[in-house]
Amino acid sequence: MTSIVLLKQLKLLQEQELYSSIIKICVLSLTEIEQKPEYSTLLRKFHISLYYADALYQTRNFTQAENHYRQALQMRKTIVSKTKNVHKKVIENQDEIASDVDIKYKIYRCCLALNQKNAAADILQTIAARQRTPKIYMALGNIYKDVGMDRLAITCFKEVLRECPLAIEAMEILLKLGVNGVEVNSLVMEVSLEITWLGTWIKAQAQFLAKDYASAILTYKSLDTHGMLKDNTVLTVNMAYCYYYMCEDSKAISLLQKAVRIDPNLNWGLALLSTLLAASGNKEYQYELEKLTPNLETSLWTDEHWVVLGNLMLLLKKYERAAYFGQQACMMGKNVEALLLRANALFFLKKYQEAAVQCTNALQIAPFRYDLHKCLILCYLNSNRLREAESMALHACKLHASCLLKDPLATMKNTRRILEKVVEQDKQGHTDAVYMLADLLIREQQYDQATQILLKALDTQKPTSKLHQLLGECYANLQKDDEAFNNYTIAMRLDPQNQRATEGLNNIERRERFYSTTENSYSSRRANSDHEADAESDSELWNGSVDMANFDS
């Protein structure tokens, strides 16, 4: 079989996805080539090796696939170097020769499948910046994000959006990494003007990821209308998560059930729905949970399917099986619902230490979830770890107050009550509650009360730049500039980067210059007035003397 016929047949097999046949043919053909090592067969060997590696990847033989991709990459370098000058036309005629960028990306995919993240990063970083395509930037961005290199990740995802403005995953990751929604929208302005809902969607996602759930719900509802995104399951599930994070479980359940009715094959959102149904303890929900269990082969199950089945077992009080199904879900990737399921099952089995570990792992992913804090506190209490339980409870109260501060519908009275409770119990200043309470009182213009709280905190806690800065703001609003100046100065000494303290000092200086200028101007005008009065008085005296002289005469 000639090389041209062989390569054409391999291409046909690949198009028809007959990967097992490709593997067998390539093994035989590569053996034949090894018997003829002359240069004329190197290009042929390169193409066959690529077909072989692709087929191995598709059949999930990732280690072998990576090995053959690396061999193909080395062969390509040899071919390019040998044909660079003399035989340049050999390469030019090979229209379908794979680029080194494509081969390196395939090696990256193999490394990722083998959970070799360092190797995956290394191979992508060998690609020159000018050769990086959006998929390369997306892959690099995900790696940088996973290892905590947020600035590099942000740069990569921005590059993706510049070339592919509708890469919505890149948009959402940028928002998660703290990029402002307005900036993200500016990167996709070209298409957002044509797609009417895109700008509003970005705004809603930005509010959601900033944990401003009340505002996010309103924005999502503005999209959930005819002519926009009415009855869209992604939007519905997002709204359900908002209500869930606001502890309005009944509304969250209702929306998730609506999403399942709209799309019976719904995947994302099933885990949360099953968690809420199981947590309710209501036996009436058993039938609902049974309906959610998948009818697919277990090999096709996602982590959400395992969580659904696990929560059904939890409701039926079959805790061992619930823990097992939770573990199956955890093996498929990071999943908060799976960790919570496993934690709840272990808790009911009275394995409190193991349950606490699961909760701690889940809190690293979602530190704002109430149910995780509750479960962890119960584990600590049952393990007689009272100090840790108290500390975690204080932290949870502070998080609750943080949400209320952002919620325009929440009353300041409730927020203040929660913060005062935390401050009263947190004598050592382990949380930021005293800062939040002082900020709230300053916002309500209750400067005297804020001052008393901050002074009391300074008596019992280690002085911080933030404490002195807030105290400076209180004194400044009470027109006590000397005290304000002293506290701002201490705040700057403790933290030279404290911007609000710097602004406070500048405001005091501007105010002093204003009063000084005003006083000087007033003194000057008064002096001029006195001078004019003296001149007028002298004139009167002089005139008076003349009159007297005339009178005497």
Given 180, 210, 240, which residue is the final one in a domain?
210
For residues 399 and 416, the answer to whether their CB atoms sit within 8 Å is: no
Amino acid making up residue 340: L
Whether residues 121 and 155 share a domain: the answer is no
Both tokens assigned to 432: 């930021």
Whether residues 438 and 382 share a domain: the answer is yes
> What's 2's domain CATH number?
1.25.40.10
**In a structure prediction context, what are the per-residue pLDDT tens digits for the chain, which is 553 residues long?**
557 788 888 889 988 989 899 899 898 888 877 776 654 577 888 888 999 999 999 999 999 999 999 999 998 888 877 766 554 444 444 445 788 899 999 999 999 899 888 899 899 999 998 899 999 999 999 999 988 888 999 999 999 999 999 999 999 999 999 888 888 888 888 887 788 898 899 999 999 988 888 899 999 999 998 888 898 999 999 999 999 988 788 899 999 999 999 998 888 899 999 999 988 777 777 888 888 888 877 777 888 899 999 999 998 889 999 999 999 998 887 889 999 999 999 999 999 999 999 999 998 888 888 788 888 888 988 888 877 777 776 666 665 556 555 555 555 666 677 677 667 665 555 556 788 788 888 888 888 888 888 888 888 777 888 889 998 899 988 888 888 889 899 988 888 888 888 888 888 888 777 656 655 555 555 555 555 445 444 444 334 433 433 433 3
Query: Does pTM top 0.85 for this prediction?
Result: no
pLDDT of residue 38: 57
Query: Is 522 domain-assigned?
Result: no
Query: Is 520 domain-assigned?
Result: no
**Measured between alpha carbons, how far is 350 from 383 in angstroms, rounded to an integer?**
9
Residue written as tokens 């709204």? 239
Q: Would you list the DSSP string of 160-204? A: HHHH-TT-HHHHHHHHHTT--HHHHHHHTHHHHTTSTTHHHHHHH
Query: Is 313 domain-assigned?
Result: no
How remote is the C-alpha of 112 from its chain's centroid?
A: 22
For residues 375 and 395, the answer to whether their CB atoms sit within 8 Å is: no
Query: Is 388 domain-assigned?
Result: yes
pLDDT of residue 139: 93
Whether residues 120 and 3 share a domain: the answer is yes
pLDDT of residue 254: 92
**Measured between alpha carbons, how far is 462 from 100 in angstroms, rounded to an integer?**
58
Whether residues 152 and 127 share a domain: the answer is no
Residues 6+ apart with CB under 8 A from 219: 200, 203, 204, 207
- Let me know if 366 is exposed, middle or buried by CB neighbors in 10 A (0-12, 13-18, 19+): middle
**Measured between alpha carbons, how far is 260 from 242 in angstroms, rounded to an integer?**
17
Given 161, 190, 210, which residue is the final one in a domain?
210
DSSP letter at 97? P
Whether residues 3 and 122 share a domain: the answer is yes
**Measured between alpha carbons, how far is 206 from 193 in angstroms, rounded to an integer?**
18
For residues 437 and 419, the answer to whether their CB atoms sit within 8 Å is: yes
Whether residues 437 and 379 share a domain: the answer is yes
Both tokens assigned to 206: 């930005």
Query: Is 227 domain-assigned?
Result: no
Whether residues 93 and 158 share a domain: the answer is no
DSSP letter at 296? S
Whether residues 60 and 80 share a domain: the answer is yes
**Measured between alpha carbons, how far is 176 from 178 in angstroms, rounded to an integer?**
5
Q: How far apart are the first and last CA of the chain?
A: 151
pLDDT of residue 110: 93
Residue written as tokens 């995947």? 267
Helices (H), 16-61: 19-34, 42-58
Q: How many CB atoms lie within 10 A of CB 174?
A: 27
- Let me know if 327 is exposed, middle or buried by CB neighbors in 10 A (0-12, 13-18, 19+): middle
Amino acid making up residue 379: C
Whether residues 97 and 156 share a domain: the answer is no
pLDDT of residue 136: 93
Query: Is 156 domain-assigned?
Result: yes
Amino acid making up residue 337: E
Distances (CA, A) of 476 to 441, 447, 456, 497: 14, 9, 19, 20
Given 78, 105, 131, which residue is the final one in a domain?
131
Helices (H), 444-498: 447-460, 465-477, 481-494
Give the residue from 485, 530, 480 showing the smallest Cα distance to 505: 485
Rg of the chain, C-alpha, whole Å: 36
**Measured between alpha carbons, how far is 495 from 13 in angstroms, rounded to an integer?**
67
**Measured between alpha carbons, how far is 194 from 6 in angstroms, rounded to an integer?**
48
Both tokens assigned to 50: 């690529």
Query: Is 161 domain-assigned?
Result: yes
DSSP letter at 15? H
- Nearest 5°: the CA angle 121, 123, 126 is 105
To the nearest 10°, the Cα dihedral for 51, 55, 57, 60?
A: -170
Whether residues 46 and 156 share a domain: the answer is no
**Measured between alpha carbons, how far is 185 from 397 in angstroms, rounded to an integer?**
34
For residue 109, the enclosing domain spans: 1-131
Question: What is the count of structural domains for the chain?
Answer: 4
Query: Is 185 domain-assigned?
Result: yes
To the nearest 10°, the Cα dihedral for 185, 189, 191, 194?
A: 100
Helices (H), 266-318: 270-279, 286-292, 303-315
Whether residues 26 and 67 share a domain: the answer is yes
Burial 459-490 (b: 16+ CB within 10 A, else e): eeeeebbbbbbbbbbbbbeeebbeebbebbeb
**Dihedral sign of CA atoms 163, 168, 169, 174 in order:** positive
Whether residues 473 and 388 share a domain: the answer is no
Q: How many CB atoms lie within 10 A of CB 237?
A: 23
If DSSP codes are grouped into helix, strand and coil, which group holds residue 252? helix
